[in-house]
Each structure stands twice: as C-alpha cells, then as structure tokens.
Amino acid sequence: MTLVRLDPIDIKILDAIQRYGRITKLALADKVGLSPTPCWIRLRKLEKAGIVSGYHARIALRVVAPVATVLMEVTLATHRQSNFDRFERVIRDIPEIVACWSVGGGVDYVLKVTARDIDAYQRLVDGLLDREIGIDRYFTYIVTKTVKDETVLPLADLLPAQS
C-alpha cells in the first residue's frame, strides 16, 4: 500500500473536519490559514485519495433509547482463509455488529455490538451459532459505563508533517 504524503496544511484540514464535520468552507479555510478556493481544492484531493472516507453525525442513542453495548471476543474452530472469509462475510451483514476487528493473540476477532438489550444480544449470538460460521468460543463483555469513546484521531501525533 502506497502512503499518501501529507503536508502541515493537509493535516490541519483533516484535523478540522474530523472535529467540526459541519464546518463551512469559509470557516475551514480560516482555521487552516488558506483562502477558500485552495482549501476546498485540497479537501477534494484528500477525499479523492480516500483519506476522508465519509462524513457522519455522532448519535447519542442512550438519550432516546436504552441500549446494550457489548464487546465480544470470538475464536474460530479452524484457521483456514476460507473460514475467516466466511465469518467476515456474515458479520459485515449484521447491522447490530457496529465494529469488528481481526486481532492477534488468544482470540481471532473482537466485535462491538449495539443491541436493544441483553436478550436481543443473546438472540443475535444464538443466530450466529445456528448459522455455523465456525465459531468455536466466544466471550461476552457488557459495557457498564463508557469512560472514553473518542472518534477524533490525534493526527499531529500520528502523522508527522512530511516535507
């Protein structure tokens, strides 16, 4: 994978749009120290390069409905590529599974599930087991309190400016 080279202005643009998704063109240009047209051209270039993958609103679901957030570790019974592919194909199509990471270590996957309640979560798990997608073991961790759930990435620390 070829990495895209970013300069300090690109990083400022990315930082601003992840923090203020609904920022106007004029305000974005002001924040990064460019005039609006060059700023907008840079933003479009970042979007076309796939660096900006979308714009989203963050919903405080618990304000309108009680929900259960559950983390789930999954270990597959066998470890052939076809087993991983089958599992991942099924997981992608289940809306309640809002995140899934393939991980190294003692388990194969960590999933984040948002369900109406614990019963709904258990029905989802039962459905996965019934589908026989290769799950050998799973462990459930019910989130009792969100301490931090940050979506803003520390770009200045992760992406040093390139010259």
Question: pLDDT tens, 114-133?
Answer: 999 999 999 999 999 999 99
Banded model confidence at residue 162, pLDDT cuts 50, 70, 90: low
> Residue 150 has what pLDDT?
86
Question: pLDDT tens, 28-78?
Answer: 999 999 999 999 999 999 999 999 988 888 888 888 888 999 999 999 999
> Residue 153 has what pLDDT?
87
Question: pLDDT tens, 135-150?
Answer: 999 999 999 999 998 8
Average pLDDT for 72-91: 96
Mean pLDDT of the chain: 92
Contact 69, 143 (CB under 8 A): yes
> Residue 160 has what pLDDT?
67
Provide the 10 A C-beta neighbour count for residue 75. 15
| Token pair recorded at residue 108 | 């194969």
- Statement: residue 163 has pLDDT above 60: no
Q: Report how far residue 132's alpha carbon sits from residue 117's, in angstroms, rounded to the nearest whole number.
A: 24
Q: Report how far residue 4's alpha carbon sits from residue 37's, in angstroms, rounded to the nearest whole number.
A: 22
Higher pLDDT, residue 123 or 21:
123
Average pLDDT for 102-114: 96
> Residue 61 has what pLDDT?
84
Residue 68's DSSP bridge partners are: 115
Specify the DSSP class assigned to residue 118: H
Contact 82, 110 (CB under 8 A): no
* pTM across the whole model: 0.83
The residue among 88, 87, 152, 146 whose CA lies nearest residue 114 is 146
> Residue 21 has what pLDDT?
87
Region of residue 147 (phi > 0: left; psi between -120 and 50: alpha; otherwise: beta): alpha
Largest CA distance in the chain: 58
What is the spatial order of strands in the sheet that 68-76 belongs to?
A: 97-102, 109-115, 68-76, 135-142
| Token pair recorded at residue 106 | 């003692």
Q: What are the helix (H) ranges across the chain? A: 8-19, 25-32, 36-48, 81-92, 118-130, 155-158
